[in-house]
Amino acid sequence: MDRINIKKLAKELNVSPSTISRAFRGYSDINQETKERILLAAHKLNYQPNVYASNLREMKSKNIAVIIPEIANNFFSQAIDGLERITRQKGYNILIFRTENDFDKQVSFINQLNNGSVDGVIMSACGEANDHEYLQRLLRKNIPVVFFDRVYDDIEAPKVTTNDYESSFSGTRHLIECGCQKIAHLVINKNFSLSSVRMAGYRDALQKYARPFEKELVLDCGLDHKKNYNTIKKAFQTWKPDGIFASVERLAFTTYHVCHDLNISIPQQVKILSFSSLEIAPLLNPALTTITQPAYDMGSKAAMLLFKALERGTDEPVPEHIILKSKLIKRESTAAG
Amino acid sequence: MDRINIKKLAKELNVSPSTISRAFRGYSDINQETKERILLAAHKLNYQPNVYASNLREMKSKNIAVIIPEIANNFFSQAIDGLERITRQKGYNILIFRTENDFDKQVSFINQLNNGSVDGVIMSACGEANDHEYLQRLLRKNIPVVFFDRVYDDIEAPKVTTNDYESSFSGTRHLIECGCQKIAHLVINKNFSLSSVRMAGYRDALQKYARPFEKELVLDCGLDHKKNYNTIKKAFQTWKPDGIFASVERLAFTTYHVCHDLNISIPQQVKILSFSSLEIAPLLNPALTTITQPAYDMGSKAAMLLFKALERGTDEPVPEHIILKSKLIKRESTAAG
DNA sequence: TTGTATGCGTTATCAT
DNA sequence: ATGATAACGCATACAA
């Protein structure tokens, strides 16, 4: 089967290429009858306008880049589900880029995107506190960027986040109300903006309820599961916390494992609460108290903001920042011991 | 900032467009010095070869379509992680298409792909037992397709699956060995090839160990969570199974909920085992015995098969079928009551 | 309503 | 080692 294109089809049907084009574009003037004849024949011959020729011609790709740390993660996969729905509706495809929390990869992905392969970017960032010139370059090319969850404060762009400070505050308060005296806070990368906001909520709640803020109880974890395990284990052995506030789902799981191995019972000896998008949190042993972010909605909203930007151009006086609410769901892991 | 292109850059540097192109392509003859000069200037001016012009010229997109039922699903998100790694290595991007188990969507996606937007397709299918002419059309255009996990038996294409029959057999045997007399099998869509293979393993194990195969104990579930809940609940009330073999993770979770609500204790009154990619299965209450598929590897392998096909062309005497092994991991949910 | 001709930005071929 | 030119497939301005 040799390749078909607009010219061949035109010859086949004894019309001009422009007529074919018109049949597919919809809005141009064209006789209804010829249009139908063309579309029918096109279907038969399996002709579809070559997307690269169209893109080149129109300087549009109808693609959106989604840049995230990982896919196999409840929060992100739910967010993708959400934004995929919107982008699909609008007739756009999504290109997924997985940074694995590697800042260099992120930079390299974004640099790639200067080649026109996407019309816009939705990202959840990694590696803050760096020079973001690479992002500015993209913006200067009029490729809009929308952030969700993990944002850069120093970049002017639409953003979707949750009320992290408040949730963190009320989560900590919940632990205090449950009688915890020594609450550890588990963080992945202290310096990241999201971490520090959550930490602030934690610290302020401690202060408000007259609990001391102890530096040692903030455990700065990383991406290495084993290291985290050891960090947390050591913390248990050294400081004997009676409450754990994990700012990231994964760290709560690690804590469960540590507690199991050290024979520490939850919630009798330690209460655990975590930011988490895990749908089966109620099925854990014990059921995990979570601060649940509306991941799916965050994805949709981010996509909507992006389309707004695409429809309006990147210049916007003050980029919109949508703040959605997380939900504290109390379960057994923080029940009265 | 006005758009830059190869001609403008050429003028800027007093060289010809071809020289610029050569600087970027790598293999062509070009003076090392001019090459460096060009690349430097290109970087400064944020020039990158327009990907659509290149694609048009080369009749390659360097994109792979990934068509799957859902993203927020442990198995699929892990698989995506795996195949993303390979495709990235090869310099390809992935376009994600989410069918939501809707056959019409799948058809419409694949029909779209005839427009050249991707060079190949990796898919986990939905809606079997249909006419797959739409797929043949794609193949005729020399766009290779690779299946993983949920395959179509009647399409000749490379495939990656797991040893579903065996795992299902040995899973069932495990339940029998644990003393179960009445084992229910939970399936999503009986008629799907994957389901029937797993069901065959179940049935044959029953037979081999002289247990009756009872039709009523095969619960044909769907995508509606509530309906599934009711189906399973009713089954418990009517047939009082003492063993549950879920062919899909989600159904195991529903079973946990049902058992909780009916005050049926696991594993004392009923033992549960499930196909599942859940990493935190050990943390469930009780820890879930799983048949774990190597989701990440399946993704990588599928990607590798696709690149093989791309490098060789679609014509292949007998398409390769890779069968990976799942692993039965015994946990508390099937422990001695 | 339809046809003709041009250009989108790149790369490959051929020439120098 | 470099430059000129044609072609990839399509969509539009303009002509008819």
Chain A contact set for B1 (CB, 8 A) = 140-141
For residue A130, what pLDDT band results from cuts at 50, 70 and 90? confident
pLDDT band for A110, please (50, 70, 90 cuts): very high
Nucleotides of C under 7 A from a protein CB: 1-5, 7-13
Q: In the predicted model, is pLDDT for residue A35 greater than 80?
A: yes
Residue A314's pLDDT is what? 63
pLDDT by residue (tens digit) across B268-278?
Answer: 999 999 999 99
CA angle at A258 for the pair A255 and A262, rounded to the nearest 5°? 140
Which nucleotide's C1' atom has the smallest distance to the CA of B7? C9
Give me the pLDDT at residue A123, please: 98
The pLDDT of residue A185 is above 80 = yes
Q: Do the Cβ atoms of B183 and B244 come closer than 8 Å? A: yes
- A65, closest residue in chain B (CA to CA): B95
Is A114 close to B48, i.e. CB distance below 8 A?
yes
pLDDT of residue B27: 77
Q: What percent of chain B has pLDDT over 90?
A: 89
List phi, psi (to 5°) of A170.
Answer: -75, -30
Whether the CB-CB separation of A138 and A121 falls below 8 Å is answered with yes
Distance A7 CA to C4 C1' (A): 13
- The CA distance from B137 to B133, in Å, is 6
pLDDT band at B21 (very low <50, low <70, confident <90, very high): very high
Establish if B303 touches chain A: CB-CB under 8 angstroms: no
Residue B40's pLDDT band (boundaries 50, 70, 90)? very high
How far apart are the C-alpha atoms of A79 and B287, rounded to whole Å? 28
Q: What is the pLDDT of residue A318?
A: 84
For chain B, the average pLDDT equals 94
The per-residue pLDDT for B315 is: 67
pLDDT at A166 over 70: yes
| Cα–Cα distance measured from residue B160 to residue B83, given in angstroms and rounded to the nearest whole number | 12
Whether residue B129 has pLDDT greater than 90: no
Q: CA–C1' distance B229–D14 (Å)?
A: 65
Span A274-284, average pLDDT: 97
The fraction of chain A above a pLDDT of 90, given in percent, is: 88
Q: How far apart are the C-alpha atoms of B81 and A97, rounded to whole Å?
A: 10
Full DSSP string of A168-199: HHHHHHHHHHTT-SSEEEEEE-TTSHHHHHHH
Q: Does B104 touch chain A (CB under 8 A)?
A: no
Closest to B82 (Cα-Cα) out of B101, B61, B68, B62: B68
Residues contacting nucleic strand C by the 7 Å CB criterion are: A 14-19, 22, 28-35, 53, 56-57, 59; B 3, 5-7, 17-18, 20-21, 24-25, 28, 47-50, 53-54, 56-58
Characterize A247-262 residue by residue with b for buried, 16 or more Cβ atoms within 10 angstroms of its Cβ, and e for exposed: bbbbbbbbbbbbbeee
Q: What tokens appear for B267 in the block?
A: 């594993």
Rounded Cα gap, residues B28 and B16, in angstroms: 14
Mean pLDDT of B157-186: 97
Per-residue pLDDT averaged across B114-127, rounded? Answer: 94
pLDDT category at A2 given cuts 50, 70, 90 is low
pLDDT at B127: 82
β pairing state of A145-148 and A120-123: parallel
Q: Which residues of B touch A48 (CB under 8 A)?
A: 112, 114-116
**Measuring CA to CA, which residue among B104, B90, B84 is closest to residue A95?**
B84
Structure tokens at B64: 């792979």
DSSP class of B288 = P
Q: Given 3-state DSSP classes, what are the helix, strand and coil percentages for chain B, each rounded to the nearest 5?
A: 50, 15, 35
What are A231-252's pLDDT values in tens digits? 999 999 999 999 999 999 999 9
Q: What percent of chain B has pLDDT over 70?
A: 98
pLDDT confidence of A174, banded at 50, 70, 90? very high
Which residue does chain B place closest to A79, by CA atoms?
Answer: B72
pLDDT of residue B2: 65
pLDDT(B314) > 70: no
Which residue's entry shows tokens 């064209």? A30
Q: Which strands make up the sheet holding B145-148, listed edge to edge?
A: A321-324, A159-162, A145-148, A120-123, A63-68, A93-98, B93-98, B63-68, B120-123, B145-148, B159-162, B321-324
In tens, the pLDDT along B186-213 reads: 999 888 889 999 999 999 999 999 999 9
Cα A304 from Cα A301, distance rounded (Å): 5
| Nearest chain B residue (CA) to A93 | B95
* Proportion of chain A in helix, strand, coil states, percent, rounded to 5: 50, 15, 35
Question: Which 3 state secondary structure label does DSSP give A100?
Answer: coil
Q: pLDDT band at residue B29, thresholds of 50, 70 and 90?
A: confident
Strand residue runs (E) in chain A = 63-68, 93-98, 120-123, 145-148, 159-162, 183-188, 218-221, 243-246, 271-275, 289-292, 321-324, 327-329
Lowest mean pLDDT among A129-138, B67-76, B85-94, B265-274: A129-138
Residue A251 pLDDT: 97
> What pLDDT sits at residue B189?
85
Q: What is the tens place of the pLDDT at every residue in A294-321? A: 999 999 999 999 999 998 876 677 889 9
